[in-house]
Amino acid sequence: MLLEKLCLLTLTLGLVKSEYKYETKYFTVPLDHFGFQRTETFQLKYLVNEDFWDRGSGPIFFYTGNEGQIEVFAQHTGFMWEAAQEFNAKIVFAEHRYYGSSMPFGNVSLDNKHIGYLTSSQALADYADLLDYLQDHAVTPKYPVIAFGGSYGGMLAAYIRQKYPHLVAGAIAASAPVHMFPGMTPCDAYYRIVTASFKNDGSKHCVDNIRSSWSAIREFASNATNAEWLRKKWNLCDPLKNSSDVQQLLDFLQSSYETLAMVNYPFASDFLVPLPAYPVRVVCQYLNQTLNGTKLMEGIGKVLDTFTNYNKKTKCADYKKGSDYGNLDASGWDYQACTEMVMPMCTYGDQDMFEPHAWNFTEYSDECFKKFNVRPLPDIARVNYGGDRLQAASNIVFSNGLKDPWAGGGVFNTINESVETMLIIDAAHHLDLMPSSPADPSTVKMAREFHKQRIRRWIQKFRK
Amino acid sequence: MLLEKLCLLTLTLGLVKSEYKYETKYFTVPLDHFGFQRTETFQLKYLVNEDFWDRGSGPIFFYTGNEGQIEVFAQHTGFMWEAAQEFNAKIVFAEHRYYGSSMPFGNVSLDNKHIGYLTSSQALADYADLLDYLQDHAVTPKYPVIAFGGSYGGMLAAYIRQKYPHLVAGAIAASAPVHMFPGMTPCDAYYRIVTASFKNDGSKHCVDNIRSSWSAIREFASNATNAEWLRKKWNLCDPLKNSSDVQQLLDFLQSSYETLAMVNYPFASDFLVPLPAYPVRVVCQYLNQTLNGTKLMEGIGKVLDTFTNYNKKTKCADYKKGSDYGNLDASGWDYQACTEMVMPMCTYGDQDMFEPHAWNFTEYSDECFKKFNVRPLPDIARVNYGGDRLQAASNIVFSNGLKDPWAGGGVFNTINESVETMLIIDAAHHLDLMPSSPADPSTVKMAREFHKQRIRRWIQKFRK
């Protein structure tokens, strides 16, 4: 279950409408950039808009696509579109291999015998090749390139500046959990922030009620009559026939709270599930006093209803779908989490509102082996990308919203004079990259101004 | 023929005796660091000496092995051994995959179906993994690591600092032709320096005689009697039966001049061929006035004799062996030159003393395809490592000897406050990395002091 986390947001973003226009293009990349035994190539998709571009020397704003169809990121990274007009920039969104339509082996790309070239290094090398092509393979590139990305895309934006600084003048890495690797971050950091959001935007009662709900639901549902009551009252698509069903329901609830915290934006949105502004505050109103027994069940039921049926169009709460939304992308991320992206997660139940669940690498590894016939490599991301030793990097802004669970693995200390951090107190998951909204808190507006200042500085330095 | 150049020096070094002591160890590395489809591993050899090491916190001096058996580099990189005593450093020499005994597929590693994982990126990732292991996989590494390398090894030393600065505090990149890629350096730079060495250490006469010798030999040898005279006078192992034999002889001569320039050291050495101190000066004494006809043939014959038979133990001049010395390593480098390491070379015959020979990429590519079934990628090294755009790098010294033909592709302009260049007027190919000698010119002594100052600075910065 933990595997799908980062992916969740991608999918969530998928349903928002927007009207940014671009041309869809394809670029040939090798399957393997770091060896010559495999000679296959495939088409990497990228989106381009040159409406604002100063063709002589304007910068290229380059989104390092993450785990999902690139159109999703193009439509939701409003900050890039808005800033491009100011900077007369060309806009490029590059799709990550093995997601969307950038499939090296078509429909069977995610089969175990083909998926092995789904790695961050290969994706970065795809982007490097594409950037070289966009610069006409010039020994001295003409256009300053600014990389942008959110979440795993933010990690990639930072990484491409670290690994290919000759191709990328600077990077805005929003909500990039580059420290979420073994030994760098306490494994409960993510869940503590989910909990803090529910406490701060909701109340202590809200947190306490959720914390006590796990055993309460388990106990309540163990009685057949109660289980049927829950099915009806909570409008569940499937009955709770056994403890495995109940566990699935609890997992779905936990995942809902995480999503609510991640997308706890100041405006109503129709992400994965349509939600009101400040959804955490909204759901917590049903849990703002100490609740027990049936009252607690009713309260949680209202939270569930808000999450699954805010627009009143959902037939029933489909708790069995978990975080597998039938999208190929999810499977791709699971593989990455089972190879390079080993991010320990745990709960203790005290500073977080969840049932205690230890991080067990062996169990995790066995699950990966069963699923993909691979063993995760807990050191590989640190060895490759530096973990928390980024002193030699330059021209990166790491921004994190304090309301964002992923901030738990973010960079908060300024590393050096040009690797800076931007803490956005009021923001959830990479709010700073989203289109501006009248409801934006001043802190996120300031963050966007900060980003633009730094982008200006990097471009000036490039031109010197 | 051009393919073997960089390799030549490696092989040359192979025959020098020395008495540095080390322990030979092996470390398991994956065949493919950047994908998970191939799951093979193999043993990478590395050499260790801890005699001088301050085990608490002493630095690790790490040689990024290049194209050859690692023992060769360990025995000839005397500067590392001497400096290690001053710095209380642990000494590690890591062997490059597909050379020496670090063969992923044993005896058949260099077969076309196995050789594809011979790439600089994979080699750097091997070294990164080994460094992580030497640091006990610590999230915060304990020991500052200084990378050293000469020639292609110098490129790797710079590259590992560029790509893995969290693992390497700084790099001494000696005689590293990182700019010897398409579009960065005039293709005749290498041969112009060979020629300048023969002019400066020899004379204008020396250069003019060599320049006129090519057509003179060709014409002279076209007559059967003369050809037989040459076989006897020049002590050739094989007769000159046709123009192809003559071409092989000319290629061998050209290669001899290059080698003489590269190893034009201030002390006698028994490299590939035993040579006196300042061998260019020595051979030019036979060509220091305008020579024609038989006199010219006699002069060139003496140069050939010095190169092939200085110790008077060689039976005959084996001009047909070319630069293929029957060592597996040569083949490995040829493959690298046919994939990533595309270094354009040409002669014009005016500012150099050779017959004009244009750089023809198509011809080069066809040769590679015929040999390895691969096409060289002229952009890949620049895209991957930055070419001449190294502004974002840090803590590297690029040293070059002005007598070294490879300096033609070296870095000469200081890039920034911590990527500095050290020009050694009197030095041939990475003389600064060699054991100190009473014959060393003061400039190379100064260069070594400069290296040590910078190493000290990098170590201090690491410990801050």
Residue B436, pLDDT > 70, answer yes
* B428 and B340 fall within a common domain: no
How far, in Å, CA of B256 to CA of B303, rounded? Answer: 9
Average the pLDDT over B127-137 and give the result: 98
DSSP string, B58-69: --EEEEE--SS-
Torsion of CA B356, B359, B363, B366, to 10 degrees: 140
First to last CA, chain A: 49
State the catalytic residue, choosing from A305, A404, A432, A440: A404
How far, in Å, CA of B429 to CA of B437, rounded? Answer: 15
How far, in Å, CA of A410 to CA of A396, rounded? Answer: 13
pLDDT at B321 (0 to 100): 80
Confidence of residue B18 (pLDDT cuts 50, 70, 90): low
CB of B202 within 8 A of CB of B214? no
Judging contacts by C-beta atoms under 8 Å, the chain B residues touching residue A114 are 37
pLDDT at A326 (0 to 100): 34
* A166 and A281 fall within a common domain: no
Judging contacts by C-beta atoms under 8 Å, the chain B residues touching residue A115 are 36-37
**Which is more confidently placed, B328 or B333?**
B333
How far, in Å, CA of A388 to CA of A398, rounded? Answer: 13
Average the pLDDT over A244-252 and give the result: 96
pTM over 0.90: yes
* B8 and B23 fall within a common domain: no
pLDDT at B323 (0 to 100): 59
Given B326, B349, B372, the domain boundary residue is: B372
pLDDT at B272 (0 to 100): 60
Residue A9, pLDDT > 70, answer no
Query: How confident is the model over B347-380, as pLDDT tens digits?
Result: 999 999 999 999 999 999 999 999 999 999 999 9
pLDDT at B326 (0 to 100): 34
How far, in Å, CA of A308 to CA of A327, rounded? Answer: 19
Residue B402, pLDDT > 60, answer yes
Query: Which two structure tokens, joined as six digits, stand for A387?
Result: 């973990």
**Which is more confidently placed, A273 or A25?**
A25
Residue A183, pLDDT > 90, answer yes
How far, in Å, CA of B405 to CA of A132, rounded? Answer: 30
pLDDT at B271 (0 to 100): 56
CATH of the domain at B436: 3.40.50.1820
* B30 and B40 fall within a common domain: yes
- Structural domain span for residue A313: 2-12+189-372
* B243 and B121 fall within a common domain: no
Spatial CA neighbour of A257 closest among A342, A323, A335, A174: A323
How far, in Å, CA of A336 to CA of B20, rounded? Answer: 45
Q: CB count, 10 Å around CB of A311?
A: 10
Residue B181, pLDDT > 50, answer yes
Task: Return the amino acid letter for A43.
Answer: Q
Cα B299 → chain centroid: 29
Which residue of B119, B139, B383 is in closest CB contact with A128? Answer: B383
Radius of gyration of chain A (CA): 22
Unique residue bearing structure tokens 């709270």: A257
How far, in Å, CA of B275 to CA of B264, rounded? Answer: 9
CB of B348 within 8 A of CB of B187? no
How far, in Å, CA of A80 to CA of A448, rounded? Answer: 10
Unique residue bearing structure tokens 């039938």: A326
CB-CB under 8 Å, A165 with B393: yes
Mean pLDDT (chain B) is 92
pLDDT at B7 (0 to 100): 42
* A83 and A137 fall within a common domain: yes
Compute the nearest-CA separation of B131 from chain A (Å): 9
Confidence of residue A72 (pLDDT cuts 50, 70, 90): confident
Torsion of CA A293, A222, A256, A200, to 10 degrees: 30
Average the pLDDT over A173-183 and give the result: 96
Please report the ipTM that was assigned to this predicted complex: 0.93
Q: Which residue of B has its CA nearest to A375?
A: B36
CB of A60 within 8 A of CB of A121? no
| SS3 (DSSP) at A30 | strand
Which residue of B117, B128, B388 is in closest CB contact with A35? Answer: B117
Residue B13, pLDDT > 50, answer no
CA atoms within 13 A on the CB side of A98: 24
Q: Which residue of B has its CA nearest to A127?
A: B383
Average the pLDDT over B130-152 and give the result: 97
Spatial CA neighbour of B409 closest among B153, B254, B157, B190: B190
Judging contacts by C-beta atoms under 8 Å, the chain A residues touching residue B164 are 383-384, 386
Given B321, B342, B372, the domain boundary residue is: B372
Confidence of residue A311 (pLDDT cuts 50, 70, 90): confident
pLDDT at B9 (0 to 100): 42
Compute the nearest-CA separation of B35 from chain A (Å): 5
Given B322, B342, B372, the domain boundary residue is: B372
Residue B243, pLDDT > 80, answer yes
* A360 and A444 fall within a common domain: no
Mutate to test the interface with A, among B34, B97, B163, B396 (most CBs of A within 10 A): B34
Dihedral sign for Cα atoms in the order B425, B431, B436, B438: negative
pLDDT at A48 (0 to 100): 98
- In sequence order, which ranges of B234-275 are alpha helices (DSSP H)? 243-262
Which residue of B36, B388, B391 is in closest CB contact with A139? Answer: B388
Average the pLDDT over B53-73 and give the result: 93
Compute the nearest-CA separation of A206 from chain B (Å): 37
* B38 and B154 fall within a common domain: yes
Which residue of B36, B384, B389 is in closest CB contact with A339? Answer: B36
Judging contacts by C-beta atoms under 8 Å, the chain B residues touching residue A35 are 32, 34-35, 116-117, 119, 122
Query: How confident is the model over B263-320, as pLDDT tens digits?
Result: 999 998 765 678 999 999 999 999 999 999 999 999 999 999 999 999 898 899 999 9
CATH of the domain at B296: 1.20.120.980
Spatial CA neighbour of B433 closest among B126, B171, B161: B171
How far, in Å, CA of B456 to CA of A373, rounded? Answer: 47
H or E element that contains B148: strand B145-150
Average the pLDDT over A103-117 and give the result: 96
Radius of gyration of chain B (CA): 22
**How far apart, in Å, are the Cα atoms of B167 and each of A218, B60, B142?**
49, 11, 10
Query: CA-based angle B177:B178:B179, to the nearest 5?
Result: 90
Confidence of residue A355 (pLDDT cuts 50, 70, 90): very high
How far, in Å, CA of B328 to CA of B324, rounded? Answer: 9
Confidence of residue A106 (pLDDT cuts 50, 70, 90): very high
Judging contacts by C-beta atoms under 8 Å, the chain B residues touching residue A184 are 139
Active site residues of B: 151, 404, 429
CB-CB under 8 Å, A166 with B386: yes
* A360 and A219 fall within a common domain: yes
How far, in Å, CA of A344 to CA of A363, rounded? Answer: 12
pLDDT at B330 (0 to 100): 58
Is residue A33 annotated as part of the catalytic site, yes or no? no
pLDDT at A272 (0 to 100): 61
DSSP string, A189-227: HHHHHHHHHIIIII-HHHHHHHHHHHHHHHHHHTSHHHH
How far, in Å, CA of A168 to CA of B323, rounded? Answer: 41
* B247 and B368 fall within a common domain: yes
CB-CB under 8 Å, A117 with B37: yes
Torsion of CA A221, A222, A224, A229, to 10 degrees: -10
Q: Which residue(s) pair with B146 in the sheet? A: B61, B170
Q: How many CB contacts within 8 angstroms connect chain A with chain B?
A: 115
Task: Return the amino acid letter for B157.
Answer: A
* A49 and A146 fall within a common domain: yes
* A254 and A130 fall within a common domain: no
How far, in Å, CA of A177 to CA of B164, rounded? Answer: 19
Query: Which two structure tokens, joined as six digits, stand for B115?
Result: 């050789």
Residue A5, pLDDT > 90, answer no
Which residue of A116, A166, A167 is in closest CB contact with B36? Answer: A116
pLDDT at A1 (0 to 100): 35
- The total number of structural domains in chain A stands at 2
Q: CB count, 10 Å around CB of B435?
A: 17
Task: Return the amino acid letter for A17.
Answer: K
Average the pLDDT over B44-73 and give the result: 95
Question: Percentage of residues in chain A with pLDDT exceeding 70?
Answer: 94
CA atoms within 13 A on the CB side of B326: 2
pLDDT at B70 (0 to 100): 94
pLDDT at A17 (0 to 100): 46
Compute the nearest-CA separation of B100 from chain A (Å): 20
H or E element that contains B41: strand B41-49
